[in-house]
Amino acid sequence: MADTIKNAISIRKTFFEQAENLAYELNNSCSHLFGLAIEDYVKNYQNHDLLNKINAIYAEKPEIQESIFRANIRKSLRRILDGE
């Protein structure tokens, strides 16, 4: 079993009640549900951060050799798709 840490959080009562009901429906504890939610949030944030970094790299203007290479690839793919 992975290492775990206990932590106290403060949330609105209505949200806690909804989480408690969901945990019951899923046959899990609130603690487990909150842990899953935090894991999902962190992974989502990391994926979003990675996507922003990738987009920043591709936003940079390619060098002339890269532009020529891309244009040639597009022409080749177009000929293949057109059946030439």
Boundaries of every domain in the chain: 13-81
Give the separation between CA 15 and CA 28, rounded to whole angstroms: 16
Q: Which of 6, 32, 30 is nearest to 19 (CA)?
A: 30
For the stretch 21-80, pLDDT in tens is: 999 999 999 999 999 999 999 999 999 999 999 888 878 777 888 888 988 998 998 888
| Per-residue tokens: 31 | 């603690």
CA distances (Å), origin 49, targets 16, 59, 66 = 29, 15, 26
pTM listed for this prediction: 0.59
